[in-house]
Structure 1
Amino acid sequence: MNLHQFKFVQEAVKRNLNLTETAKALYTSQPGISKAILELEEELGIDIFVRHGKRLKRVTDPGQHVLKSVDVILREVANLKRIGEEFSKQDAGRLSIAATHTQARYVLPEPVAMLRKRFPKVMVSLHQGTPEQVAAMLLDDSADIGLATESLADFDELITLPCYEWQHVVVMPRDHPLAEVERITLEHLAAVPLISYQPAFTGRKRIDQAFAQRRLTPSIVLEAIDSDVIKTYVRSGLGVGIVAEMAMAGEPLQGDLIAKPALHLFGQNTSRVAFRKGAYLRSYVLSFAELLSDRLTRPLIERALSGSGDSYDL
C-alpha cells in the first residue's frame, strides 16, 4: 500500500464516488485510480466500496474504518510537510530564549539586536526564570536555548557549554566609609548590612560559601533577583550591595555609586548556554549562540549535540 492509494480513496469519497471527477482533481487517469483502489482492497482483503459494474456506489462498513485511518495518515503526512517547511526556512521563525533576569537584562540585549539585524524575519520570545525554570523550559521544548550561571550543568538531558566568566562587585554610595578602603575583605562586609541576590540566582552560592569558609555570618538585610532593585536599595542607604559586574556596566563613571572588584573574595562565575539533547537547531539559533560568545562556534555546538563532547575550557 502507498500514499497514492490513500489519496485516491479519500478524494473519491470527496467527489461523491465519481472517479472521473476524482481523476481530474488529482491530474491522473480514471483507469489508474480504479486499478490503485482495487490493488489496495486486494492487499487489505476487504472491499472498501460497493460497485455496480465499474462504478462505485457506496462505502462498505469496513471501508468506513479504512477511511478513518486514511484520514489520520494523510493528516499526519500533511503535518510532517508543515514541520519540514517550518524548519527548512532557516532565516524565518521564532527564537525562544530562556534566561535568568541578570542575563536577560544585561547580557542579551546586544546579541538579540544583532540577531534581529541579521535575521529580520525571526521573532524573539524571551522567558525569564530561575536557573531551574530555565532548564525546565528547555526540557519541555518551550525554549530553544537557555542561559544561566547556576544549575544548568546538573541536568543530564541538557547539553551545556561555558559561555563567559564574570565576577561579583561590591557596590556602595560614593560617600560610604568602605569607599575609601582599597581592598575590601570579608570581615569588612560582615560588619555592614548587605543586599544581594536570592540564593538561587547569580552566583549567590559562592557568596554564601565564602563567608561560611571564614566562619563569618553576614547580615543580609534584603535579597532580590533583580540587580537594578539591589542598586536602588543601595542608593537608599539600606546597605552595601553585591552584584554581578555586568550590572554596573551602564553606570556613569562619576555617578552616585561606586563598584569595587570582589574576585579575590568570591572567585569567578561561569555562565553557561544550554540546549536539549537531541534538539534540532535551526541556523539562526546557532548564529545566536555564536553571538553570545566568540568561543561558541557552530562546529563546537554541533559536535556537542552529536555526543562528541559537551564541555571545553574558556
Structure 2
Amino acid sequence: MNLHQLRFVREAVRQNFNLTEAAKALFTSQPGVSKAIIELEEELGVDIFTRHGKRIRGLTEPGRAVLKSVETVMQEIDSLKRIGKEFAAHDSGSFTIATTHTQARYSLPRVVQLFAQRFPKVRLSLLQGNPKQIAEMVLNDQADLAIATESIAEMDGLISLPCYQWEHLVVTPPDHPLLRAKPLSLEEIASYPLITYDAAFAGRNKIDHAFALRSLKPDILLEAIDADVIKTYVELGMGVGIIAGMAFDAERDRNLRAMSAGHLFGSNVSRVAVKQGAYLRSYVYTFIELMTPALTRKLVEQAMSGEQPMYEL
C-alpha cells in the first residue's frame, strides 16, 4: 500500500469516477491509475468501486469506508506539509477564503486591508459562490476557510463559529410611500413588488418564513445574489428592496432610503468555517481574530478539538 494508491482513489471519486480525468488531474496515465487501484483492492481484499465492464461507476459499501480512511490519511499528510511550511516561513504563503458576494463586497474589505498590511508576503485569494459551493471548496481543500450566513453551520466535516450578527433593511427610492409606514409591517411590504436575494443567499429563508407565518405571498419581482444589483433596480423604481444591513451606506447610496426590518425578519449570524481536523497556518488565526476579535486562536483551537467555546459577539 502506498500514498499514490490513496491519492488515485480520492481523485477518482472527486472526478466523478472518471479515471481519465483523475489521471489528468494527477499528471499521470489512466492505465497507471487503474492498475494502482486494482492492486490496492487486491491487497485489501475488497472491491472499492462498482464496475460496468472496465469502467468504474461508484463506491461499494466497503469502498465508502475505505474512502473515509483515505480522506483522513491524506488530510494528515497535507497537515504535515503545512506544518513544515509553517516553521519554514511564519509570515508568507498562500491563503484562500471562500465566501459569498455580500461578505466579499461589504464585510471583508477592511479586514483584508488590515491583514495585507500585517502579512504583505501572504498571497491572498477570494473565491465566491453560494453557501453550499463555498463549503464544498473548504471540504475539498480548495480554500482554507469559508465565510457565509447560510447553511455552513449544518455541513458535515466543517467546524463553524459565529462571527457577527446583522439584520435586513428595506430600501426604497427617497419618495416612496412605504417610508411613511409607522411601524413598518409585513403586510405593507408585501403590497409592493419586491427585489431581494436569491433563495441561497443572505438570510432569504428568514424572509420567506416571515411572510409565510402571516400567510402572505409577496410578489418577488427579481432575485439576485448581489445587493448592488438589488439596489440598482430599486433606484429605477421597479420595486422595494430587501438587503443585508451591511450592504447599505447612506453616503454612498444617496438615491435610496433604508428602514430597519429586524423586527420583521429577525437577526442573522454570519459564520466562519474551517475543515474539521485541518491544520491552520498562524496567519489564518490572525485573520479570524481581525474579523471577530472575540474569536481568539485559543477559542478556535478549542472548537476544532471538539469543545464548545463560550464567547459573546
- TM-score for both structures, normalised by structure 1: 0.72
* CA distance in structure 2 between the partners assigned to 1:130 and 1:80 by the alignment: 27
| SS class of match (2:189) | helix
Q: Give the structure 2 partner of residue 203 of structure 1.
A: 203
CA offset digits 1:165-206 (Å, max 9, x no partner): 000000000011112223210000110000000001000000
Q: Give the structure 1 partner of residue 59 of structure 2.
A: none
Q: Which runs of 5+ in 2 are unaligned?
A: 1-77
* CA distance in structure 2 between the partners assigned to 1:311 and 1:131 by the alignment: 25
Query: Quick one: which amino acid aligns to residue 139 of structure 2?
Result: L
| SS class of match (1:138) | helix
Query: Quick one: which amino acid aligns to residue 140 of structure 1?
Result: N
Query: Quick one: which amino acid aligns to residue 192 of structure 2?
Result: V
Contact 1:96 1:127 in 2 (8 A): yes
What are the within-5 Å matches in structure 2 for residues 88-107 of structure 1? Answer: 88=87, 89-107=89-107
Question: Does residue 180 of structure 1 match 2:180?
Answer: yes
Give the superposition deviation at 1:221: 0.2
Query: Quick one: which amino acid aligns to residue 122 of structure 1?
Result: V
Q: Give the structure 2 partner of residue 232 of structure 1.
A: 232
Query: Quick one: which amino acid aligns to residue 136 of structure 1?
Result: E
Give the superposition deviation at 1:309: 2.4
* CA distance in structure 2 between the partners assigned to 1:273 and 1:114 by the alignment: 18
Q: Give the structure 2 partner of residue 306 of structure 1.
A: 305
Q: Give the structure 1 partner of residue 215 of structure 2.
A: 215
Bigger Rg, structure 1 or 2: 1
* CA distance in structure 1 between the partners assigned to 2:146 and 2:218 by the alignment: 32
Q: Give the structure 1 partner of residue 287 of structure 2.
A: 288
CA offset digits 1:77-126 (Å, max 9, x no partner): xx999755422212001110000110010011110100010111011100
User: How many residues get paired?
Assistant: 235
Cα 1:194–1:161 change in 2 (3 A) is: same
* CA distance in structure 1 between the partners assigned to 2:83 and 2:135 by the alignment: 26
| SS class of match (2:122) | strand
4+ runs deviating over 3 angstroms: 79-85, 310-314
CA offset digits 1:33-68 (Å, max 9, x no partner): xxxxxxxxxxxxxxxxxxxxxxxxxxxxxxxxxxxx
| SS class of match (2:161) | strand
Give the superposition deviation at 1:306: 1.6
Cα 1:83–1:305 change in 2 (3 A) is: closer
CA offset digits 1:252-310 (Å, max 9, x no partner): 18822010000110000000000001111111100000011122111100111122226
Cα 1:142–1:233 change in 2 (3 A) is: same
* CA distance in structure 2 between the partners assigned to 1:84 and 1:161 by the alignment: 23
* CA distance in structure 2 between the partners assigned to 1:306 and 1:223 by the alignment: 40
Q: Give the structure 1 partner of residue 192 of structure 2.
A: 192
* CA distance in structure 1 between the partners assigned to 2:123 and 2:262 by the alignment: 37
Contact 2:82 2:281 in 1 (8 A): no
Cα 1:263–1:80 change in 2 (3 A) is: closer
Contact 1:169 1:242 in 2 (8 A): yes
Cα 1:167–1:95 change in 2 (3 A) is: same
Q: Which runs of 5+ in 1 are unaligned?
A: 1-78
Aligned-residue RMSD, C-alpha:
1.8
Query: Quick one: which amino acid aligns to residue 168 of structure 1?
Result: H
- TM-score for both structures, normalised by structure 2: 0.72
Q: Give the structure 2 partner of residue 241 of structure 1.
A: 241
Contact 1:159 1:310 in 2 (8 A): no
* CA distance in structure 2 between the partners assigned to 1:80 and 1:279 by the alignment: 7
Cα 1:126–1:232 change in 2 (3 A) is: same
* CA distance in structure 1 between the partners assigned to 2:80 and 2:161 by the alignment: 33
Contact 2:294 2:311 in 1 (8 A): no
| SS class of match (1:265) | helix
Q: Give the structure 2 partner of residue 257 of structure 1.
A: 256
| SS class of match (2:307) | coil
Cα 1:157–1:175 change in 2 (3 A) is: same
| SS class of match (2:274) | strand
Q: Give the structure 2 partner of residue 271 of structure 1.
A: 270
| SS class of match (2:290) | helix
* CA distance in structure 2 between the partners assigned to 1:83 and 1:95 by the alignment: 12
Contact 2:165 2:270 in 1 (8 A): yes
Question: Does residue 154 of structure 1 match 2:139?
Answer: no
* CA distance in structure 2 between the partners assigned to 1:81 and 1:244 by the alignment: 40
Q: Percent identity?
A: 53
What are the within-5 Å matches in structure 2 for residues 82-93 of structure 1? Answer: 84-88=83-87, 89-93=89-93
